[in-house]
Amino acid sequence: MASSEGAPAPSFLPLEAGAAGSSKKRKQRSSSSRILTEFDEQGKRRSSVVYIGRIPHGFYEDQMRGYFSQFGAVTRLRLSRNKKTGKSKHYAFVEFETPEIAQIVAESMNNYLMFGRMLQVKIVPTDQIHPSLWNGANKKFYLPSKTKTNEEMSLERRQRLVEKFARKDKARRTKLQALGYDYPEIEISNLAPTKTRFD
């Protein structure tokens, strides 16, 4: 068996340096590919926002975020609701981390049957994304506060009635004075709401 004591040592690169170099190259390739895919063929920035229409009842913010997170990270989500009743208006906007994810969602989920409804999913162009589109996004919807007592609500209503009566009375007196009638001004201070023991 031949001895290897006099043989020159092979010139191998250190494992750490090779791994570091390869990982650095991978990062450069991934970042360059990401930059390229952010723009379409016309040079316009690709959108990462999708519109989802015909959403069934029961498929709300938490359910939507959990379902669409299987495609990728969801950055913003807004389900349109009625401000008075809180009921869903059956459409929503979802923003994903990258345009690639949004494209996959639009292609795979459009005309998808869910709870008897065919979802309508499409990409929202960047020039159609209004700043107010995300008002209330990523927030749990709460109905208007109902903590006020009935007495407090009635005081507010009485105040509005007093103001409305004052405006009408002023307009009536102006018309009568133009016709030559002296219409006395009605004292309405007694109609104003008074403080209660709850104030």
What is residue 4's predicted lDDT score, i.e. its pLDDT? 47
Tokens of 38: 């952010």
The residue count of the chain comes to 199
| Residues 32-63: tens digit of each pLDDT | 334 435 666 666 778 999 999 999 999 999 99
DSSP annotation of 87 reads: -
Q: Is the distance from CB of 37 to CB of 99 less than 8 angstroms?
A: yes
Q: What mean pLDDT, rounded, does the chain reach?
A: 76
Report the alpha-carbon distance of residue 10 to residue 156 in Å, rounded.
91
* Mean predicted confidence (pLDDT) in 82-95: 92
Q: Is the distance from CB of 85 to CB of 127 less than 8 angstroms?
A: no
First to last CA, the chain: 104
Q: What are the φ and ψ backbone dihedral angles of 139, each rounded to 5 degrees?
A: -125, 140
Q: Tell me how far apart the 2 most distant CA atoms of the chain are, in Å.
A: 134
Single-letter residue type at 142: Y
- Of 133-142, 144-153, 174-183, least confident by mean pLDDT is 144-153
Helix (H, G, I), strand (E, B) or coil at 45: strand
CATH architecture of 49-136: 2-Layer Sandwich (3.30)
What is residue 66's predicted lDDT score, i.e. its pLDDT? 95
The residues that bridge with 35 in the sheet, in sequence order, are none
Confidence band of 145 (pLDDT split at 50, 70, 90): low
Residue spans of beta strands (DSSP E) within the chain: 49-53, 74-81, 88-96, 113-114, 117-118, 120-123
